[in-house]
Amino acid sequence: MAKLIGKTALILSTETTLSRSVMDEIEKAGADVAILDVPESSEVAWDRELLSPGRTQAGMDVIINMCIPDTGGAIGAVTLADFRNILKISYVRTWLALKYGIQALRASGGGSFINITSVAGRHGSAGAAARCAASHGIELMTRSAALECAGKQDNVRVNALLVGDVISGYHDTYAPGHVSPKDVASAVKHLASDAAAYITGLIMPVDNGGGLSS
């Protein structure tokens, strides 16, 4: 089933169980993959990290951006500074990742950009206004970026996964809204592959039916 053979992939994330699982899955599919954490939110830093001559020469086919925002907490209990910081490290960081990541993919003749954010923005969630605002913002940012790339016909596709609660470890059953890291990794693998060449601007919940009413 290996179908990412010869592809170079970059995961923009800190080391987490989820990013590790995604890395293992796409590595198994044949990709050459690295994890990169860009802690800064300046354009200079992202330009340096994603568009350095070394990086461009190595080529870039798949970029996976982990951008699951913190919940923030209840309105009234969250300060503007905290709210803004959540937007900065998820929403604004995603904008920077898109801006420089798309250019990196374009420089190697095209590729697949995948945002991984929270499904929270789809339904609203108590105590998670910051997460909802950031993730729903990322959803529309993804769609807009997909249309910009499609309009240029530059062979860059942009899609997003909206993940539910990612539960690590082995479980026999998963409640609605709960998924495993492997579920997310499998969806990434599919969207990263050439078999998904016609899919762009897709916003795909990976949430075990969590968004459905009961």
Partner 1 sequence: MNATVSQAASVASLEGKIALITGATSTFGIGRISARSMAMAGAYIFVTGRDPAKGADVVAEIAADGGKAAFLRLDVTIEEEWAQAMEVVRQKFGRLDILVNNAGNTNSTPIEEMPLETVWYMIHLNIEGAFLGQTYAWPLLKKSGGVILDINSGAGQRGAPGGTAYRSSKGGLLGLSRAAAVDGRRHGIRVISVHPGLTWTSGMERVRGRAHYDRDVLNVPLGRGAESADVAAALVYLASDDAQHITGIEYNIDGGSSAR
Look-up of token digits 């070394």: 54
* Partners of residue 160 on adjacent β-strands: 115, 203
CA distance 28 to 182: 12
CA distance 10 to 35: 6
With contacts defined by CB under 8 A, name the span among 6-14, 15-23, 40-48, 176-184 that binds partner 1. 176-184
Strands 32-36, 8-12: pairing is parallel
With contacts defined by CB under 8 A, name the span among 13-21, 46-54, 125-133, 142-150 that binds partner 1. 142-150
With contacts defined by CB under 8 A, name the span among 8-16, 60-68, 87-95, 198-206 that binds partner 1. 198-206
- Interface with partner 1 includes 106 (CB under 8 A)? no
* Residue 23 token pair: 């890395």
| Amino acid letter, 18 | L
Cβ 184 vs Cβ 17: under 8 Å: no
Residues 111-130 that bind partner 1 (CB under 8 A): none
- Interface with partner 1 includes 4 (CB under 8 A)? no
How many residues bind partner 1 (CB under 8 A)? The answer is: 40
CA distance 14 to 32: 18
Look-up of token digits 């910009």: 148
Cβ 142 vs Cβ 158: under 8 Å: yes
| Long-range contact set of residues 41-45: C-beta below 8 Å, sequence gap at least 24 | 41/88, 41/89, 41/92, 41/93, 41/96, 43/96, 43/99
Residues 64-93 that bind partner 1 (CB under 8 A): none
- Interface with partner 1 includes 197 (CB under 8 A)? yes
- Interface with partner 1 includes 143 (CB under 8 A)? yes
- Interface with partner 1 includes 198 (CB under 8 A)? yes
For partner 1, the closer of residues 57 and 153 by Cβ is: 153
With contacts defined by CB under 8 A, name the span among 35-43, 46-54, 76-84, 174-182 that binds partner 1. 174-182
- Interface with partner 1 includes 168 (CB under 8 A)? no
- List contacts with partner 1 (CB under 8 A): 1, 3, 142-144, 146-147, 150-151, 153, 174, 176, 178-180, 183, 186-187, 189-190, 193-202, 204-209, 211-214
